Homo-oligomer: A and B are copies of this chain.
Amino acid sequence: MLEILREMADAVENALKYSDREIWKENLGEGADGTATNGVDRIAERAVLSVLDSHGRPMNVVSEEAGFIDNGRDLTLIVDPLDGTYNALHGIPFYSVSLAVTDGAMKDVRWALVRNLVSGDEYTAVRGEGAFMNGEKIRVRDFDQHNPVFSVFLGKSASELSLRLASKCGRIRSMGSAALEMCMVASGASDMYCYFSDAPMGGLRVVDIAAATLILRESGGRVLNRKLIMLDMELDVRERTSVLAIGDERLLKVIY
C-alpha cells in the first residue's frame, strides 16, 4: 500500500514541477470543505486521483476539494494533495502532500505517507510497525525544558493559549504546514505542534492531519484535542478541530 501512496506523492511532485505557475493562483471557488480552491490544489488533487484510477479505484476518497468519493470499497484514502497551499503559492519553501488509508475513522488509519515537496523528505508509517523518515526509523525526542522548540499556529485566529506559548518557550517555529510540523515532532525535530483556534472556520481538518497523526503515534508521540483527550475525527472535510501534537508528555506540565 505504501508503494501506491508513494506513486501518488511522485505524481503530485511532478504535476507541480511541470505546471504553469500562473495556473496555480487561479481561484476555482469553494471546495467541499468550504474553503477556496486554487489552481494548484486542483492540479495536485487530480494527480492523486489519476494514480488511483490507474489502480482501478481500490479505495474511496476524502479530499479537500472533491469531498467524499464513494467507490464502494472498504478502505478510504484521506488526502490533502497540498498541505501548505499558501506557502506554495507565495514561495515559502515548506509544503507537503499528505496521504492516509483507513478502514474506519481517523484513529483507524493503517498506512500513512507525508512528503515534504521542497526537500523531498518522506515520512511513513504502518500501524503497529513504527514510523520512518526516508526509510530510517524515527522516534520523538525526550523533552528537555532548557532547550525546547515548539511549533505553534499563530495569527489573528489563533487562541490566547497559543500566544502565551509563543512568549514562554525558548524557540518558536510557525511554518505553515500542519502535516509537516507534526512530522517534525515525530522525528524529534521539535517537541510539540499546536493549532488552537477560536475562529468560526478555525481549526484543522481530517485531511490535514490523518497521515501525520499515525506517523506521530507510531513514533511514540500523542495527538490530542484541546481537552487533552486522544483526538479522533470522522471522515468529514467540513469538521474542524484544535490539535495538540506532542512528543513527550512531560511537556504538558510546562504548558498548562
Which residues of chain A in 162-185 are interfacial with respect to chain B, using CB atoms and an 8 Å cutoff? 163, 166-176, 184
Are A184 and B149 within 8 A (Cβ)?
no
CA distance A166 to B165 in the complex (A): 12
Chain B nearest Cβ from A71, distance in angstroms: 35
From the candidates B149, B167, B187, name the one contacting A86 in the complex (CB within 8 A). B149
Residue of A118, A171, A189 with most partner-chain B CB within 10 A = A171
A72 in contact (CB, < 8 A): no
State which of A74-82, A101-109, A150-158, A210-218 sits at the interface with chain B: A150-158
If A91-B187, A91-B188, A187-B91 touch, does A173 touch B170 (CB 8 Å cutoff)?
A: no
With an 8 Å Cβ cutoff, the count of chain A residues facing the other chain is 34
Are A92 and B163 within 8 A (Cβ)?
no
Interface secondary structure of A, over-half rule = loop
From the candidates B93, B116, B176, B189, name the one contacting A116 in the complex (CB within 8 A). B93
From the candidates B93, B166, B174, B189, name the one contacting A118 in the complex (CB within 8 A). B93
CA distance A90 to B172 in the complex (A): 13
If A166-B163, A174-B174 touch, does A90 touch B155 (CB 8 Å cutoff)?
A: no
CA distance A123 to B170 in the complex (A): 29
CA distance A167 to B163 in the complex (A): 7
If A154-B172, A155-B170, A173-B176 touch, does A94 touch B94 (CB 8 Å cutoff)?
A: yes
Q: Note all chain B residues with C-beta closer than 8 A to A149.
A: 86, 90, 92
Are B167 and A154 within 8 A (Cβ)?
yes
If A154-B174, A158-B167, A169-B155 touch, does A119 touch B92 (CB 8 Å cutoff)?
A: no
Extra A-B contacts (17), CB below 8 Å, given A91-B188, A158-B167:
A90-B189, A90-B190, A91-B184, A91-B187, A92-B149, A92-B189, A93-B121, A119-B119, A154-B167, A154-B174, A156-B167, A156-B168, A156-B169, A157-B170, A158-B172, A163-B167, A173-B174
